[in-house]
Structure 1
């Protein structure tokens, strides 16, 4: 390692160690910056999707969310790049494959990734300048915009003050989720003397108590090199990156350290405590009652013990048939039980959570857990089940399919341990030895001992409960009146507040200095290379069925999917098809109990899943392909299990256990209700599509609001309908799961495919005669009131109905509208946490907002988007190039094998070829400003249809003048 040491020394770093780590297919190098004290790790391997991150230790000292607000704010301009939104500029102009920032309970992380080395350096440069030299000291409006400020509502004597701010509204939305409130309550009970008693994101009650001075003080004390952890990842030029970091940032910063700034907040350990029950009231629906018990599992350095705890939780609580979860469900304490290891903190803890908790459940929870844990520890633990959970954990770690580039995922893994221990920073990258060691310990009683230690002999545990309450309007009004009175006295009245808001609006609307914009590093169209090679799929025949054969790299994993046509069902039967998909794999079969089946799946498959989806033809909006999908994956040595287990589930499931079916349906109802409140933009976009799109009508019947209403009514009359339901599901399975109308899809080696074919995927049977007739879409103009303190808005129309053809320019326009017009109008000025525009190839085109404090203003901004695009959007040539680069990069971004297979399958069913995809990319690269501006009238025409839908707060809906049909959806 002499060369690395010399390279490091030449760049101002001291090389500390290098270690080969098989789990990352490379070597982990550790460095320390000589003068500033910053720590740096390079995970060196052959991955072309390179990454960089910088993380600061930021333990919260209160509930003001100061580090969350800082996470947003430092990305709003810096010394070197004095523009209002360099973060957004990077989203608009770079080849990034990941660009974001995250606030954790005790750290703040800024990761980026790109396949282009120059682009990665550009991203790193902007991020480093942002965190170390932010504009927050020069522009207090950043704090007001991202954190909180007062605004005046109403006129004359009807004027009132309201809070606004991006983080303020984000946390109003986040803490509308009972799960988040429960976690916070439990964490505060477990750690009453440390940072983990606080909500690091901030609470709406506490955020307005944060002052601008306190905001700046926290930045000075925490955003400094000796409190920083830097990580480089992938196949990159080490000398180039170390030299850049040293010369431009760390070496100068070492000379500028302000010793009077004070020390970072301490990150202490909590001495063991016991809290039998901590309650929190929450204004939410009664169905959202929840409770949890948490057990501290050790310290972050206890790597093997924590891996074992994760495996144990999965084994005894990971499915409805896992022993502890089954006991809790049979006890009738809740509709659902979820459990997980809360890690990436100094003292990780196991959390067992009851959703839809019944009266008295919190008091019973600990006793039931203790009773069953004792039974399991005294010989009742099925060691085959533990071995299966371990096998599944190994598969997940090897597949590493977490939705982010590997460099980002591995950086987060590193920081789950490095923040708390300097002696082994790479500990959280290694797992193979721990898995091997734990597998050997299964028959030695290790997991029984862990059960006793964790659940029975633990002196550090707590119970928490969220109790739904009616909103206390009087208390809320009194608190608001007191806050308004204080604010008016502090700033000098309504006119003074309005003057501050006007100043903020002026700052938000002022264009950036072109010279400042020109300083931002970016690539040009000339930097766009050829599209990454993508292996074409081919349609072959296997076992008498068409088979999509994918020639993609799977790293020793086989992926096998079956698509069963729904043409033979009626529209009225569609909700039952979804219920069928829900329960498959969770019930007894003719050969195995549900528990035995669960163990087999865990032991031999990477995943097994069933669901419904609708594919739209790219040219004909009336041609739809609704399907039931059965998907499985396995390591190559287990390929035959992707056939035998799937066949068994599809053809031999016993639907007579109506009690288990009810458990599954009650859990899904609860999940839907919570999704309406926490991800309402997704529900709103799906619902508004059903107003104009035949495929939208189908999707609503299979999984949207219409399905939720069906599910709710079914559960309300379950005893009367259970027997008929069983018969209906059995008949549907027999009718649907046949070779006629089935399409196979496979990715893996040729040897894997041969094993798959030999295992016999054919089920026999012919397709049923076509029966599906989709009702015509209807504009219902609905606003669904759900338990949330914010709203989610959507508006849309089918572009094909206006005779507007699709091409790559629509992708470019969607990116421009999302990251320029809507970002500024709905997020920055309106205070919503997010907003965007989507234009899909098949025709559906939709606006949306996320965690939004307003409805009418947002919809008005949607309506004005086309005019802005046609008349106001006037980028420089460099800015236009940036949009082209970033849009092209979004098409070229690497994806994991499973996602690539599924994307290719979707293209096949939609009638889209790789040549079509290449044509769209070419259209993006060649698009001109005039091409984009020409879409302005088309966007106006979409908005002019006036189709919109809202989910969220009843109070905000009541203030709207949009004439919605208001529906109380939950409850």
Structure 2
């Protein structure tokens, strides 16, 4: 018998007008999209808004948000977001946010600055833990320490520093974060588009802060902004999940009542921008020539029209969602740039459709807008292909029903979605949680020209649009900043410079001063006794099927997922970059049965997704082990399982590789995407590269999808005329060797009935048995080195990696626990707080490899020196029993964090290929629970082991790399 969902229908005890712990219910509505009920309330004493999304989810969440529209580019709300989490009246420690990361059972803990709001969301599966998190966050936003600790502003926002010669520089966490963010050409371009579209409203300003404006923000203005905006009358609180609502409301009411005296002033206005059709403008930026780009944007209306916003999302996918979509095809065929894409920018009062052109050819700036608008006019007049619209609508429906929010728990994602309408209308908190009615309206619109009318209104008749071209140049913000600092220094006396040094020394002293035992004791914490036994993880089954099949019989809510793992060890190492090409091209070219355009439509209509990617499996005990695979992943609603069995097989078995022009377009887009990845996520790229100094599996991965693949791809495209002629034959022959039944495992996640129908429809999936070659892959032996890769950025990503140590007797679980004090105590304080990097951390893999990393870091040498100090710090770590218990609790909670069915299946698949025994996670969990302070301190001998091979990998700007004293074995110009 199915258990009754008590949240699906409204609770009479929470009827409109009823009072609960200082709150009055003002509205109640069932929300079938979450199988629950929404209760809207007001706090009687303060007017604070409250929404409870009541449903059966035990991964519960809390969020408090404030309307925070900026009036300038100083990033004051971003700096406040960081700063209020640096201590409060009730919790007077320097970094309660970090303490919670270290010691709570949270499944999500963060804060976010949006263009018009700031949110503070947390989630946990443990009710007591959630209440602890709520209490700390509420005190942080309502009673922050910023009013009596001004150096929080200097640390998180900006401050001046002076070196021995008296030369000045800026530092600060947000300052450096935004230098990194605005080193990305797309971010810079988008910032200018918004400035042109919204010249008179908050959206014309950079809410995160522009480094050229951040130093103009004063401490007094910072405090005044908090007082005016962090008032409860300007707040929005959202609870989610299976909660005792009266208990939680009582907790919140207590904190709200304490805060009434802190309310002050009125917040900044959030107004509608009157339509403007801005002329094309050009901006310059110091970046690689390949980053030349144009953004063209059209405002589509307001957030109040939920169906229209969803319709634009569907429309953009139909027109630009693949290389075969009609608008994207027209732009690519015009040959004016390397790549073209479109996206919906929503979650704001006036959403926009943003079209971006990258890698411009001569004359692109003069042609782009007219090409887009003439093509859209033709489509609006002649009709958008119905099959494309139906496919895009089917894809949107699948995504909405699946509700896979990536790394966000459902409650956090839904809270953010609720703010997409609630912020602008107190009576509309549910618009973006609902989608059934909007989908029905769009389906009806297929027959009455809704999408053609929408395209005509959005583009052809737009009264609100802007176009911005970004031109790479030799000089940029760094030169302007340097000149500004020189002017500032010229106006200062030696006494002034000494005052700067003295203030930095005082800041350092405050940063280094330990929290008092009394302050630490005030923080709520859980103990090991609060850790509940883990939910049993269903084991995979070996299923009867025409091919080897592992089955994950999990509740997927009517969706089937299948992954096909094709072993690549029968190939030569020199084949692996071409496997990377295969994974990038498959699904985007003609097959023998369908042209690429029709194939794209079929896939979107029938599947939730179809992905081709590579990965390599390692073995903990053997660094020389490498088992690369080409993985084909697909998903579909239960009623479309037949397509799940046949469409992927058509792609891998019948793709034609004879359209060199189309292949070049696809591979150029991949090159551009990798270059953007290096700039925005250089810490991840650097860590992967550094791992390849020691692990054969990482070497293989790099050849197929990492840095080595990028270099191969760049060379291939740079010599296309000579090298492309061999591609059709080579890729066809390689596909024939890869896609066979000889070395494949199929992983199916879903119901047994769906699995049976999948195999009945697919048979052997058109995979031949070839009796192919034995495993013969030989991966080059890794070797440690020091490397620097030059990217167009004003910040760096610094990784130092180490190989195995003979002194390492620590268990995987103990290392997991030790990672927390290293990352959240030592590195956080040294690299982030003192050094100004936006992020930092330490990781140790189950193969006994370790790495320190930093993110958006102003330094190289200073950061490496701080890495060197980690061993001595850990050896002397004097954490209390309570501290250690907190680390253990947080580590185990992270281990136990709930995952979606697809994620669980993938985790089990990868563990299988890595040779891990069933129950290995339980072993690691037990090791985490058994960790002692002595065990943790003992690991310092591993970090201090000078005999261990080490390597350094830096991604960063040329000036910073050239200024470093590191003896790099190679300095590579990565993005040209």
TM-score calculated relative to the size of structure 1: 0.97
Structure-1 residue corresponding to 2:702: 700
Aligned partner of 2:804 among 762, 778, 799: 799
Structure-2 residue corresponding to 1:336: 339
Shift of residue 799, structure 1, vs aligned partner: 2.8
Counterparts of residues 665-680 of structure 1 (less than 5 Å): 665-680=667-682
What do residues 259-288 of structure 1 show as CA deviations (whole Å, max 9, x unaligned)?
A: xx4211000100010012122110000100
Aligned partner of 2:319 among 316, 320, 325: 316
- Please give the alpha-carbon distance, in whole angstroms, between the structure 2 residues aligned to 1:322 and 1:786: 32
Name which of structure 1's ranges 910-919 and 725-734 shifts more when overlaid on structure 2.
910-919
Structure-2 residue corresponding to 1:482: 487
Q: Verify: 1:755 aligned to 2:757, yes or no.
A: yes
Shift of residue 42, structure 1, vs aligned partner: 0.1
- Please give the alpha-carbon distance, in whole angstroms, between the structure 2 residues aligned to 1:943 and 1:127: 45
Q: Is the 8 A contact 1:8 1:239 kept in 2?
A: no
SS at match of 2:537: coil
Q: Is the 8 A contact 1:14 1:32 kept in 2?
A: yes
Structure-1 residue corresponding to 2:247: 240
Q: Is the 8 A contact 1:864 1:940 kept in 2?
A: no
Q: Verify: 1:915 aligned to 2:915, yes or no.
A: no
- Please give the alpha-carbon distance, in whole angstroms, between the structure 1 residues aligned to 2:122 and 2:446: 40
- Please give the alpha-carbon distance, in whole angstroms, between the structure 2 residues aligned to 1:616 and 1:691: 14
Aligned partner of 1:91 among 95, 101, 113: 101
SS at match of 1:443: coil
Structure-1 residue corresponding to 2:284: 281
Q: Verify: 1:407 aligned to 2:420, yes or no.
A: no
Structure-2 residue corresponding to 1:772: 777
Structure-1 residue corresponding to 2:453: 449
Aligned partner of 1:53 among 63, 88, 92: 63
What do residues 323-363 of structure 1 show as CA deviations (whole Å, max 9, x unaligned)?
A: 10011111112111111111111100101111112233232
Shift of residue 846, structure 1, vs aligned partner: 1.2
- Please give the alpha-carbon distance, in whole angstroms, between the structure 2 residues aligned to 1:844 and 1:376: 55
Counterparts of residues 585-600 of structure 1 (less than 5 Å): 585-600=587-602
SS at match of 2:440: helix
Structure 2 vs 1, CA of residues 847 and 541 (structure 1 numbering), >3 Å: closer, same or farther?
farther
SS at match of 2:170: strand
Q: Is the 8 A contact 1:586 1:598 kept in 2?
A: yes
- Please give the alpha-carbon distance, in whole angstroms, between the structure 1 residues aligned to 2:807 and 2:488: 50
- Please give the alpha-carbon distance, in whole angstroms, between the structure 2 residues aligned to 1:932 and 1:188: 51
Counterparts of residues 427-826 of structure 1 (less than 5 Å): 427-471=431-475, 477-486=482-491, 488=492, 492-543=495-546, 545-762=547-764, 763-766=767-770, 767-799=772-804, 804=809, 806-826=811-831
Shift of residue 800, structure 1, vs aligned partner: 6.4
Q: Is the 8 A contact 1:383 1:443 kept in 2?
A: no
Q: Verify: 1:834 aligned to 2:834, yes or no.
A: no
TM-score calculated relative to the size of structure 2: 0.97
Structure-2 residue corresponding to 1:301: 304
What do residues 361-384 of structure 1 show as CA deviations (whole Å, max 9, x unaligned)?
A: 232111111111111112241111
Structure-2 residue corresponding to 1:353: 356
Structure-2 residue corresponding to 1:105: 115
- Please give the alpha-carbon distance, in whole angstroms, between the structure 1 residues aligned to 2:122 and 2:154: 26
Structure 2 vs 1, CA of residues 640 and 209 (structure 1 numbering), >3 Å: closer, same or farther?
same
- Please give the alpha-carbon distance, in whole angstroms, between the structure 1 residues aligned to 2:972 and 2:488: 32
Name which of structure 1's ranges 936-945 and 609-618 shifts more when overlaid on structure 2.
936-945
Q: Is the 8 A contact 2:810 2:939 kept in 1?
A: no
Structure-2 residue corresponding to 1:227: 234
- Please give the alpha-carbon distance, in whole angstroms, between the structure 1 residues aligned to 2:482 and 2:246: 60
Shift of residue 464, structure 1, vs aligned partner: 1.0
Structure 2 vs 1, CA of residues 147 and 274 (structure 1 numbering), >3 Å: closer, same or farther?
same
Shift of residue 458, structure 1, vs aligned partner: 1.2
Aligned partner of 2:885 among 868, 881, 884: 881
- Please give the alpha-carbon distance, in whole angstroms, between the structure 1 residues aligned to 2:556 and 2:184: 37
SS at match of 2:259: helix
Structure-2 residue corresponding to 1:968: 973
- Please give the alpha-carbon distance, in whole angstroms, between the structure 1 residues aligned to 2:830 and 2:175: 17
Q: Verify: 1:426 aligned to 2:433, yes or no.
A: no
Shift of residue 749, structure 1, vs aligned partner: 0.3
Unpaired stretches in structure 2, ≥5 consecutive residues: 1-10
Q: Is the 8 A contact 2:281 2:468 kept in 1?
A: yes
Aligned partner of 1:181 among 184, 188, 191: 188
- Please give the alpha-carbon distance, in whole angstroms, between the structure 2 residues aligned to 1:647 and 1:471: 51
Aligned partner of 2:138 among 128, 135, 159: 128
SS at match of 1:904: helix
Structure-2 residue corresponding to 1:170: 177
Q: CA RMSD in A?
A: 1.5
Structure 2 vs 1, CA of residues 921 and 942 (structure 1 numbering), >3 Å: closer, same or farther?
farther
Shift of residue 945, structure 1, vs aligned partner: 3.1
Q: Verify: 1:161 aligned to 2:165, yes or no.
A: no
SS at match of 2:446: helix
What do residues 82-138 of structure 1 show as CA deviations (whole Å, max 9, x unaligned)?
A: 000000000011100000000000000000000011100000000000000000001
What do residues 888-932 of structure 1 show as CA deviations (whole Å, max 9, x unaligned)?
A: 000000111221111111100011134111011011012111111
Q: Verify: 1:926 aligned to 2:930, yes or no.
A: yes
Structure-2 residue corresponding to 1:372: 375
- Please give the alpha-carbon distance, in whole angstroms, between the structure 2 residues aligned to 1:918 and 1:333: 56
Aligned length: 960
SS at match of 2:548: strand
- Please give the alpha-carbon distance, in whole angstroms, between the structure 1 residues aligned to 2:364 and 2:421: 35
Aligned partner of 2:147 among 128, 137, 143: 137
- Please give the alpha-carbon distance, in whole angstroms, between the structure 2 residues aligned to 1:443 and 1:7: 43
What do residues 753-794 of structure 1 show as CA deviations (whole Å, max 9, x unaligned)?
A: 001111225212234332311111122311111100000011
Q: Is the 8 A contact 1:681 1:848 kept in 2?
A: yes
Q: Is the 8 A contact 2:805 2:942 kept in 1?
A: no
- Please give the alpha-carbon distance, in whole angstroms, between the structure 1 residues aligned to 2:488 and 2:210: 16
Shift of residue 510, structure 1, vs aligned partner: 0.2
Structure 2 vs 1, CA of residues 99 and 476 (structure 1 numbering), >3 Å: closer, same or farther?
closer
- Please give the alpha-carbon distance, in whole angstroms, between the structure 1 residues aligned to 2:758 and 2:53: 36
Structure 2 vs 1, CA of residues 529 and 133 (structure 1 numbering), >3 Å: closer, same or farther?
same
- Please give the alpha-carbon distance, in whole angstroms, between the structure 1 residues aligned to 2:116 and 2:692: 43
Q: Which runs of 4+ in 1 moved over 6 A?
A: none
SS at match of 1:950: strand
Structure 2 vs 1, CA of residues 367 and 679 (structure 1 numbering), >3 Å: closer, same or farther?
same
Q: Is the 8 A contact 1:275 1:461 kept in 2?
A: yes
Aligned partner of 1:267 among 247, 257, 270: 270
Structure 2 vs 1, CA of residues 479 and 257 (structure 1 numbering), >3 Å: closer, same or farther?
closer
Name which of structure 1's ranges 89-98 and 332-341 shifts more when overlaid on structure 2.
332-341
- Please give the alpha-carbon distance, in whole angstroms, between the structure 2 residues aligned to 1:10 and 1:677: 50
- Please give the alpha-carbon distance, in whole angstroms, between the structure 2 residues aligned to 1:645 and 1:792: 41
Aligned partner of 2:259 among 231, 234, 253: 253
Structure 2 vs 1, CA of residues 485 and 218 (structure 1 numbering), >3 Å: closer, same or farther?
farther
What do residues 27-63 of structure 1 show as CA deviations (whole Å, max 9, x unaligned)?
A: 0000000110100000000000000000000000100
Q: Is the 8 A contact 2:142 2:262 kept in 1?
A: no
- Please give the alpha-carbon distance, in whole angstroms, between the structure 2 residues aligned to 1:929 and 1:198: 49
Shift of residue 444, structure 1, vs aligned partner: 1.1
SS at match of 1:629: strand
Q: Verify: 1:391 aligned to 2:394, yes or no.
A: yes
SS at match of 2:549: strand
Q: Is the 8 A contact 1:362 1:463 kept in 2?
A: no
Q: Verify: 1:860 aligned to 2:854, yes or no.
A: no
Q: Is the 8 A contact 2:802 2:948 kept in 1?
A: no
